[in-house]
């Protein structure tokens, strides 16, 4: 079955047409994008897809991918407040692709689904029970499609028994970590929304909730403005006062610009602190995985992170790390007790697998 994987992100739209064995038949990437770009890109594909799989950031309580119909679409739209940047983009892509490919079945594949296995201790916020039960307040986690693929691919590269305890680092414009034990998520850094956790390109990551309350009550900043600033003007962009692109931060850091030096240090501090926390959740570490735009293409981030994590018995090969800028690469140091690998993010493969599974079940 030919599956078109649609990944409508905040900064780019990626279309990948995969064959029955997940071979890449055609692809298109548009950045920046709007809905008018989608139909022409679909029409230019080398062959028509037999099914479509959409990456959807938030699936709420859904634990499995689902065939898209009007009630499902309405349910996903209702989750927009929990992922205000991404959910509307995914819904817009769903509608346009449905018009471009009438009659072709479409499946929603959720970034939250992989984290449905989180134990209660990891998923539960220390909030009043009445709030948690009434509003569904819990840690959902995100980037699950990427984390699931990266953990499984690490097992293929190293052998399944040598990758049972994996910390996968999805580092891109959005960033999160996942602790996978026997290829099931047991902890992650994002929570109720994709705003929690690591420092990201324009998102703050975790901040003291008291700080947010102070901004609202004492500084008298409107909640909508606080939300906007935390989502779009914080993170690396907020720290540098300019670009949130890690490549720009690295270049400015090399020139000795103080803001960029601080931005990089804050990013690495938060990253390594949370990798250590994920390792605790696993009771040890077999493999550290870097994926996503930053994780795959910025050797400096991998180097600095591993240097600070040396106490865990991790080391990497400097030459292999410097050369690992494309494709899947084992960069483990000769004397390292923990494997370190760089894996190309292939959410499209995970989307295609989920889509075929849903349609096979329907049949």
Same domain, 71 and 206: no
As annotated, the active-site residues are 111
Note the pLDDT of residue 363. Answer: 43
Q: What is the value of pTM for the model shown?
A: 0.94
Q: Which two tokens stand for residue 70?
A: 């009007």
Flag whether 248 is in a domain: yes
Q: How many CB atoms lie within 10 A of CB 257?
A: 16
Residue located via tokens 């990427």: 146
Residue located via tokens 């109720």: 192
Same domain, 323 and 248: yes
Average pLDDT of adjacent 10-residue blocks, the chain of 363 residues: 92 92 94 88 94 94 93 94 88 94 96 96 98 95 97 97 98 96 98 96 97 98 97 97 97 98 98 98 98 96 98 97 92 97 96 96 64
Same domain, 119 and 168: no
Distance of alpha carbon 233 from alpha carbon 195, whole angstroms: 12
Q: Which two tokens stand for residue 20?
A: 């029955």
CB burial of 108-147 (b: ≥16 within 10 Å; e: otherwise) equals: bbbbbbbbbbbeeebbeeeeeeeeeeeeeebbbbbbbbbb
Distance of alpha carbon 115 from alpha carbon 174, whole angstroms: 17
Same domain, 168 and 134: no
The number of folded domains in the chain is: 2
Flag whether 331 is in a domain: yes
Flag whether 152 is in a domain: no
Same domain, 209 and 127: no
Distance of alpha carbon 309 from alpha carbon 275, whole angstroms: 8
Same domain, 87 and 223: no
Same domain, 302 and 234: yes
Flag whether 80 is in a domain: yes
**CATH number reported for the structural domain that contains residue 77 in this entry:** 3.30.420.40
| Contact call for residues 194 and 203 (beta carbons, < 8 A) | yes
Phi-psi bin for 42: left (phi > 0), alpha (psi -120 to 50), beta? alpha
- Residue 67: which domain range? 3-140+348-362
Flag whether 148 is in a domain: no
Q: How many CB atoms lie within 10 A of CB 226?
A: 16
Same domain, 82 and 168: no
In three-state form (DSSP H/G/I as H, E/B as E, the rest C), the secondary structure along the chain is CCEEEEEECCCCEEEEEECCCCCEEEEEEECCCCHHHHHHHHHCCCCCCCEEEEEECCCCCCCCCEECCHHHHHHHHHCHHHCCCCHHHHHHHHHHHHHHCCCCCEEEEECCHHHHHCCHHHHCCCCCHHHHHHHCCCCCCCCHHHHHHHHHHHHHHHCHHHCCEEEEEEECCCEEEEEEECCEEEEECCCCCCCCCCCCCCCCCCCCHHHHHHHHHCCCCCHHHHHHHHHHCCHHHHHHCCCCCHHHHHHHHHCCCHHHHHHHHHHHHHHHHHHHHHHHHHCCCCEEEEEHHHHHHCHHHHHHHHHHCHHHCECECHHHHHHCCCCCEECECCCCCEEEEECCCCHHHHHHHHHHHHHHHHC
Same domain, 8 and 27: yes
Flag whether 146 is in a domain: no
Q: Which two tokens stand for residue 192?
A: 């109720």
Same domain, 99 and 10: yes
Q: Which residues contact 173 (CB under 8 A, 6 or more apart)?
A: 9, 10, 11, 200, 201, 202, 244, 293
Distance of alpha carbon 274 from alpha carbon 188, whole angstroms: 9
Same domain, 109 and 228: no
Note the pLDDT of residue 361. Answer: 85
């Amino acid at each position: 079955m030919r599956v078109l994987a649609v990944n409508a992100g905040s900064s780019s739209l990626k279309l990948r047409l995969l064959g029955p064995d997940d071979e890449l038949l055609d692809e298109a990437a548009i950045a920046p994008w709007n809905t008018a770009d989608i139909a022409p890109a679909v029409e230019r594909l080398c062959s028509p897809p037999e099914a479509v799989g959409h990456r959807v950031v938030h699936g709420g309580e859904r634990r499995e991918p689902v065939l898209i119909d009007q009630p499902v679409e309405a349910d996903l739209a209702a989750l927009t407040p929990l992922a205000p940047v991404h959910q509307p983009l995914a819904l817009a892509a769903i509608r346009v692709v449905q018009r471009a490919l009438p009659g072709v079945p479409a499946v929603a594949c959720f970034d939250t689904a992989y984290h449905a296995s989180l134990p209660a201790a990891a998923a539960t916020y220390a909030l009043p029970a009445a709030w948690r039960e009434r509003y569904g307040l819990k840690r959902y986690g995100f980037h699950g499609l990427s984390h699931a693929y990266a953990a499984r691919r690490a097992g293929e590269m190293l052998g399944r028994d040598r990758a049972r305890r994996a910390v996968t680092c999805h580092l891109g414009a959005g960033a999160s970590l996942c602790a996978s034990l026997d290829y099931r998520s047991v902890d992650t850094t994002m929570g109720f929304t994709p705003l929690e956790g690591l420092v990201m390109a324009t998102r703050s990551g975790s901040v003291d909730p008291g700080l947010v309350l102070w901004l609202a009550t004492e500084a008298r900043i409107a909640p909508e403005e606080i939300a906007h600033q935390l989502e779009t003007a914080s993170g690396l962009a907020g720290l540098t006062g300019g670009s949130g692109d890690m490549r720009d931060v690295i270049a400015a850091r090399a020139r000795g610009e103080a803001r960029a030096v601080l931005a990089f240090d804050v990013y690495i501090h938060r990253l390594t602190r949370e990798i250590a926390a994920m390792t605790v959740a696993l009771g040890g570490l077999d493999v550290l995985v870097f994926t996503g735009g930053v994780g795959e293409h910025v050797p400096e981030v991998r180097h600095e992170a591993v240097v600070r994590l040396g106490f865990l018995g991790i080391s990497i090969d400097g030459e292999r790390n410097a050369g690992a800028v494309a494709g899947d690469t084992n960069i483990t140091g000769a004397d390292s007790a923990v494997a370190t690998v760089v894996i190309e993010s292939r959410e499209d493969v995970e989307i295609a697998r989920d889509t075929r599974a849903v349609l096979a079940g329907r049949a």
